[in-house]
Homo-oligomer: A and B are copies of this chain.
């Protein structure tokens, strides 16, 4: 990287910080007006966006990119209209900023209020899906945060065009354009620079494949919210309704295979294996799913591919599933604790006691009882929109909506309150 590219990244972050200070106290009305201006501008400037996107699409095809990836990259007038519509949906969501999370009057009469405030500057690092550019910018704006957007270099022309539209739109309503910025530079080094901008950037949210997320999590000095890798499990208990178990398995695995909340491993209680596994294998075959099974599963069909040690840790995102027979619920839990990415696990059971035990012991973002893993999703959960699904434990866990893009501060109001010099035998706590 040239040193000018480096300072360009830091300059961007500094301008974002200044914009964030101006955004924080803005009332909802001002932010909603800017969001409506964005939605209108996206539709009005569709041709310009489509033309820029065509460059990225052509380049991707020249590079031999698989058509499924090209499809994720492509923007059509219909897709741009859908993106604009999503922005209008954000207008309808409540403003998290200013919400009083906790409040009381203390015994001495001090009024204590814990109030939601924006995080400040949010950096989002994501792969080829230019709609994320607009989604992320809209959610950051609504929550009073400045957005630093670092999309894939394969979508650089699209993102540059989109961000020009977004900046013009917010500026037209009097909000600083620097509230929304593209991180300059197409090189990997500009991502590294962003990852080290501690003090300027308040949080980084990587969205994309496992390798991107690992890189950001391990290399960043800025706090990171880990998202999205999903090695999700469906556990079929001894006392399961067979038809329900098959339906949940197939929906979890095959309704959409390329997403983080699809199932990647099936675990079956030994007591129900003879009854369930043949039915499950037939249904998976009908859905075009290849099964990578342990020895016990292999016995039921010659179609089963022997599972390797790696299979248990693999997020296939394809028509593949690992499958094993386990001796007990506790063995299923132990398998999950060892191999899961902590996203979503489901149990299918009629037993209240087993459901309760599974829920207590499984330490993942979401635990489904008699429901598909595919429900872990901000819009399915009724949050209106999500900026990603956190699979870590700090700050936010699960689908992250607008409140998860905020912090809080304590506002304490008195009329000359002083602290008593209470005698204490212990040294002070800080």
Chain A residues in the interface with B (C-beta under 8 A): 21, 24-25, 71-72, 76, 78-79, 82-83, 86, 104, 106-107, 110, 112, 114, 117, 119-120, 129, 131-132, 135, 198, 202-203, 207, 217-218, 221, 223, 225, 227-228, 230, 241, 244, 247-248, 251, 255-256, 258-261, 337, 355, 359-361, 363-372, 374-377, 380-382, 386, 388-389, 392-395, 397-398, 407-419, 421, 424-430
Q: Indicate if the CB atoms of A419 and B251 lie closer than 8 Å.
A: yes
Shortest Cβ gap from A237 to chain B (Å)? 14
Complex interface: chain B residues within 8 A of A366 (CB): 409-412
Q: Indicate if the CB atoms of A360 and B24 lie closer than 8 Å.
A: yes
Smallest Cβ-Cβ distance to A71: which chain B residue: B427
CA distance A106 to B380 in the complex (A): 8
Smallest Cβ-Cβ distance to A131: which chain B residue: B426
Q: Indicate if the CB atoms of B370 and A202 lie closer than 8 Å.
A: no
Q: Indicate if the CB atoms of B371 and A412 lie closer than 8 Å.
A: yes
Q: Indicate if the CB atoms of A426 and B79 lie closer than 8 Å.
A: yes
Most buried by B among A106, A119, A371: A371
Complex interface: chain B residues within 8 A of A106 (CB): 380-382
| Beyond A119-B393, A244-B416, A251-B418, 20 additional pairs, beta carbon < 8 A | A24-B361, A71-B427, A79-B425, A104-B382, A106-B381, A110-B375, A114-B398, A131-B427, A202-B393, A217-B221, A225-B394, A255-B418, A261-B430, A368-B414, A370-B414, A370-B417, A372-B419, A394-B395, A395-B395, A397-B409
Whether A241 contacts B419 in the complex (CB less than 8 A), given A72-B427, A394-B203, comes out as no
**Can you give 29 A-B contacts (C-beta < 8 A)?**
A24-B363, A72-B427, A82-B424, A83-B426, A104-B382, A106-B381, A112-B382, A119-B394, A132-B429, A203-B393, A207-B430, A223-B392, A223-B394, A225-B394, A247-B418, A251-B418, A259-B430, A355-B413, A359-B411, A365-B409, A366-B409, A367-B411, A369-B411, A370-B415, A371-B412, A372-B417, A376-B412, A394-B407, A395-B395
Q: Indicate if the CB atoms of B409 and A259 lie closer than 8 Å.
A: no
CA distance A21 to B388 in the complex (A): 27
A-B pairs, 7 with minimum CB distance: A371-B414, A393-B407, A374-B419, A260-B430, A251-B418, A371-B417, A395-B395
Q: Indicate if the CB atoms of B429 and A364 lie closer than 8 Å.
A: no
Q: Indicate if the CB atoms of B382 and A412 lie closer than 8 Å.
A: no
Shortest Cβ gap from A406 to chain B (Å)? 9
Q: Indicate if the CB atoms of B410 and A25 lie closer than 8 Å.
A: no
Smallest Cβ-Cβ distance to A223: which chain B residue: B394
Shortest Cβ gap from A197 to chain B (Å)? 13
Q: Indicate if the CB atoms of B360 and A110 lie closer than 8 Å.
A: no
Complex interface: chain B residues within 8 A of A364 (CB): 409
Complex interface: chain B residues within 8 A of A86 (CB): 426
Smallest Cβ-Cβ distance to A218: which chain B residue: B221
Complex interface: chain B residues within 8 A of A363 (CB): 21, 24, 117, 120, 409
Q: Indicate if the CB atoms of B409 and A398 lie closer than 8 Å.
A: yes
Q: Indicate if the CB atoms of A409 and B120 lie closer than 8 Å.
A: no
Complex interface: chain B residues within 8 A of A372 (CB): 417-419
Most buried by B among A82, A227, A359: A359
Partner of A241, one of B24, B258, B416: B416
Complex interface: chain B residues within 8 A of A132 (CB): 429
Q: Indicate if the CB atoms of B398 and A410 lie closer than 8 Å.
A: yes
Complex interface: chain B residues within 8 A of A110 (CB): 371, 375
Q: Indicate if the CB atoms of B248 and A412 lie closer than 8 Å.
A: no
Q: Indicate if the CB atoms of A409 and B221 lie closer than 8 Å.
A: no
CA distance A377 to B417 in the complex (A): 14
Q: Indicate if the CB atoms of A367 and B412 lie closer than 8 Å.
A: yes
